[in-house]
Structure 1
Amino acid sequence: MAEALLGGASPDQLARTALPEEYLAAHLRVEDVDMFTDIDDKDVRKSLRVGRVAMPELAPDEVLVAVMASSINYNTVWSAIFEPVPTFSFLKRFGATGGFAARHDLPYHVLGSDAAGVIVRVGSGVRRWRVGDHVVISPVQVDDQEPGTHGDGMLGAEQRVWGFETNFGGLAHYTVARASQLVPKPAHLTWEEAASITLCAGTAYRMLVSRQGASMKQGDIVLIWGATGGLGAYAVQMVKNGGGIPVGVVGSAAKAEALERLGCDVVINRNEIGMGDDVPNTPARTIELGRRLGKIIRERAGGDPHIVFDYIGRATFGISVFVARRGGVVVTCGSSTGYDHHFDNRYLWMNLKRIIGSHAANLQELWECLRLFDLGKLMPTLSSVYPLEEVAEAARLVQTNGHLGKVGVLCMAPEPGLGVTDPVTRARIGEARLNPLREPSGTASALPFDAPLVAGRA
């Protein structure tokens, strides 16, 4: 199948090409769930395995995708350290619903919530997709027979994050997805660029642009924590595109330089406000840090933030609530530093601020977001690429915050740079604009498999 895909086989030829009984995949094993008990450094390289797993049966509403590339998200890190709960508990609950869901309850969990690839099989109930289609996959799996899904796909009780709360994820040579998860791959992007988009860009779109999120408007000052991370780097672009004023916070001079390449209006190194040490954020210290940060933002951006974009969690959330302007919004989608948030509620209720919880994106939001890539309004934030065999090293880079933007993983694609079917649009946009977080030509980013751009400087 790999030869057929890389050789440009027709859809008919792909449909006739035999599938393997097993395939290569990054996965966890249930017997390893307790391996990090009483260990401080839960190194994902100890739990993430790459090996062959059985090819699953296809349900009528599903497609089998040959994955050309994927990427690392923080949910891969959570899965690999078995926190806050082992993801095998998700698979067991899903499997208990019966039918084809029972396939997911296995002693191994194939991870990955991003993928770009080629459809090689379709279920009997699939109508809008065909073998040979180039697609990216939404990280959200929903039940389209559930009433809540039709109001907003994210509100259905059976909504799950694919590759995290389901099995057969994207860090593999093959993956299984529902037809309702598919979006056409932007034709001007490479496989690895396209695979860096769906989870983080879709999530940022819902948080900032969608009416389900902060509904950002022109002129809004938006504070973005972790502004060179996978989520933050897309948020910076969306704020700029929407006529807002992005204020990005990062943790090093190297990341500040990268943020300037993204065109962020205000760049703040968190050491400027005293967040570079390990002093606990007591209530008094949170207010002290918030006052320092607020003063810098007012001086450089001309006012307090209308919106605070926070996926960092415990380390930043109290400050986020404090610095948002009167009537402002804190929108949150995650907690990479911990889920137990503390904030002074006086600054929320007495100043009429709001907290909005946001999670991934529904399919319509993802389609609208991908349209911006097709138009050349948004750019991938890929900074480094690893082969599937080194996925544990890629995940470790994200775990230790040693990365910029997105860390890509090549699966069936043998090298970076493949998959472009619209070279005219690519040339019009230009390579430099397409890869704003790559280092300048002649540095490590020119290698076939990039060395981490900021290794040792995080």
Structure 2
Amino acid sequence: MDELSAAVLADAPAEELRNIPLPRSYRAACLRAEDTGTFAGVDDKDVRKTLRVDDVPLPEPAPDEVLVAVMASAVNYNTVWSATFEPLPTFGFLERLGRQGGFAARHDLPYHVVGSDAAGVVVRTGAAVARWAVGDHVVVSCVQVDDHEPATHGDAMLGSGQRIWGYETNFGGLAHYAVVKASQLLPKPGHLTWEEAGSSMLTAATSYRMLISDKGARIKLGDVVLIWGAAGGLGAFAVQLVKQAGGIPVAVVGSPDKARAVRALGCDVVLDRTELGLGGGGTGEEITAQGKRLGRAIRKAVGEDPAVVFDYVGRATFGLSVFVLRRGGTVVTCGSSTGYRHEFDNRYLWMHSKRVVGSHAANLMEQSECNRLFDLGKLVPVLSEVHPLDEVGEAARRVQLNQHTGKVGVLCLAPREGLGVTDPERRRAIGPAVLNPFR
């Protein structure tokens, strides 16, 4: 371990951290450009073959950036996409970013440090950084934007310079250090451990924008919300947000174990897709037949069709989402883990005045509002397991095969779980069982 990392772990004061030289290299989970052809003609694209943990050179932060000593991070599905080089190798993103020149050129490297979540300690700030200081405990938003672009100031997610850090940029969070823009930082809730805080922001904020924001479905008191994949990271936060907003979550899961996990979040209506024969996809007639079975099950449970459907599964569910939605309702989608080409019967969309809303990550205000809910104890982490950084390949494989519930955390510099709590009184008041319903 380098001297700076050791000082961070020892809770050294800010002045001491500032005076310790930066290490020349750091430990990181990364992909290699030379491996992009690994899975040509291979059915099982096992991420353990391409996701390596190596020592890489430490980059210099730009004036508007900070260097964060990462205590903990998490595996998101974009890590799986990155490690399988699908739908495109991420090195194309890095090459295009590098063409901008200046500090952007640092990103175009033959290796890609991945990871889009992190919690840690600020150890360096650029000359243009005013709101953050060395020693601050932070969580990192996954969104990088160009704040010189006019669209960013209306909604950062509509700016052409918006990128997902650790996926469309280099120097991501699955590492001992991460380089991030100061505009990505939020204060870490003091009652959360490093691994709890470091595993929540990407999926929680994405769900917040989809459901609560005026850019998404804008759910209201009493809305019935169908949530696909409710035991996953996105779905588990969606269940919590619907409950907090006074809505009625209807969770769809794939096994009795996942049903039990979602009920632990306080979700009363849980449907097992295997029991309903929802196999995903099929012909138009098959999708309609599945949709009728699903619609009957929802109406039996809550008495009406859903006002909103929360869908990130994609091809296997989208036709059903459009079908079961009530007249005038909204399907909100942020991804397609089962495929991007969706089939649905457009009659049920146009003739019933339904809406489809595309949603991507969250702007900084939405991220901040979501982080506030964590700070208040209104949202809780949904970690089910935690792995050390050296086993990140195994952690990502679990996500790739959907063998997990909630979020899979990764300890980076933190030597063990349970560290990082600075507000133990609030943690005791909320209660450990409430904070970790999936564990």
The answer to whether residue 436 in structure 2 is matched with residue 435 in structure 1 is: yes
Tell me the equivalent position of 1:385: 386
Shift of 1:275: 2.2
Aligned residue identity for 1:36:
F
Does the 8 Å CA contact 2:196/2:381 hold for their aligned counterparts? yes
Task: State TM-score, norm by structure 1.
Answer: 0.95
Tell me the equivalent position of 2:31: 28
Tell me the equivalent position of 1:423: 424
Q: Which aligned pairs between 1:195-344 and structure 2 lie closer than 5 A?
A: 195-276=198-279, 280-344=281-345
Q: Following TM superposition, where does structure 1 have runs of at least 4 consecutive aligned residues deviating by more than 2 angstroms?
A: none
Tell me the equivalent position of 2:194: 191
Aligned residue identity for 1:433:
V
Instruction: Kindly provide the CA deviation profile for residues 124-170 of structure 1, in whole angstroms up to 9, marking residues without a partner as x.
Output: 00000000000000000000000000000101000000000000000
Structure 2 residue runs without a partner (length 5+): none
- Taking the aligned partners of 2:365 and 2:348, their CA distance within structure 1 comes to 35
Instruction: Kindly provide the CA deviation profile for residues 81-118 of structure 1, in whole angstroms up to 9, marking residues without a partner as x.
Output: 00000000000011111111000000000000000000
Q: Which aligned pairs between 1:365-380 and structure 2 lie closer than 5 A?
A: 365-380=366-381
Does the 8 Å CA contact 2:281/2:315 hold for their aligned counterparts? no
- Taking the aligned partners of 1:160 and 1:12, their CA distance within structure 2 comes to 33
Secondary structure at 1:125 match in 2: coil
Tell me the equivalent position of 2:166: 163
Aligned residue identity for 1:404:
T
Aligned residue identity for 1:12:
E
Tell me the equivalent position of 2:75: 72
- Taking the aligned partners of 1:323 and 1:265, their CA distance within structure 2 comes to 19
Residue of 82, 86, 89 corresponding to 1:86: 89
- Taking the aligned partners of 1:121 and 1:238, their CA distance within structure 2 comes to 35
Shift of 1:265: 2.2
- Taking the aligned partners of 2:333 and 2:295, their CA distance within structure 1 comes to 19
Q: Which aligned pairs between 1:342-421 and structure 2 lie closer than 5 A?
A: 342-421=343-422
Aligned residue identity for 1:339:
Y
- Taking the aligned partners of 1:298 and 1:280, their CA distance within structure 2 comes to 22
Shift of 1:53: 0.5
Task: State TM-score, norm by structure 2.
Answer: 0.99
- Taking the aligned partners of 1:9 and 1:283, their CA distance within structure 2 comes to 62
- Taking the aligned partners of 1:33 and 1:316, their CA distance within structure 2 comes to 30
- Taking the aligned partners of 1:153 and 1:221, their CA distance within structure 2 comes to 29
Instruction: Kindly provide the CA deviation profile for residues 308-331 of structure 1, in whole angstroms up to 9, marking residues without a partner as x.
Output: 000000000000000110000000
The answer to whether residue 146 in structure 2 is matched with residue 143 in structure 1 is: yes
Secondary structure at 1:51 match in 2: strand
Residue of 5, 8, 13 corresponding to 2:11: 8
Shift of 1:5: 1.0
Secondary structure at 1:37 match in 2: coil
Aligned residue identity for 2:327:
R
Residue of 112, 129, 142 corresponding to 2:132: 129
Instruction: Kindly provide the CA deviation profile for residues 398-421 of structure 1, in whole angstroms up to 9, marking residues without a partner as x.
Output: 000000000000000000000000
Shift of 1:280: 4.9
Secondary structure at 1:206 match in 2: helix
- Taking the aligned partners of 1:265 and 1:98, their CA distance within structure 2 comes to 53
Alignment: residue pair count: 436
Identity of aligned residues (%): 67
Secondary structure at 1:272 match in 2: coil
Tell me the equivalent position of 2:21: 18
Secondary structure at 1:271 match in 2: coil
Aligned-residue Cα RMSD (Å) equals 0.7
Instruction: Kindly provide the CA deviation profile for residues 158-187 of structure 1, in whole angstroms up to 9, marking residues without a partner as x.
Output: 000000000000000000000000000011
Secondary structure at 2:66 match in 1: strand
Does the 8 Å CA contact 2:281/2:317 hold for their aligned counterparts? no
Tell me the equivalent position of 1:37: 40
Secondary structure at 1:172 match in 2: coil
- Taking the aligned partners of 2:35 and 2:9, their CA distance within structure 1 comes to 36
- Taking the aligned partners of 1:84 and 1:410, their CA distance within structure 2 comes to 28
Aligned residue identity for 1:176:
V
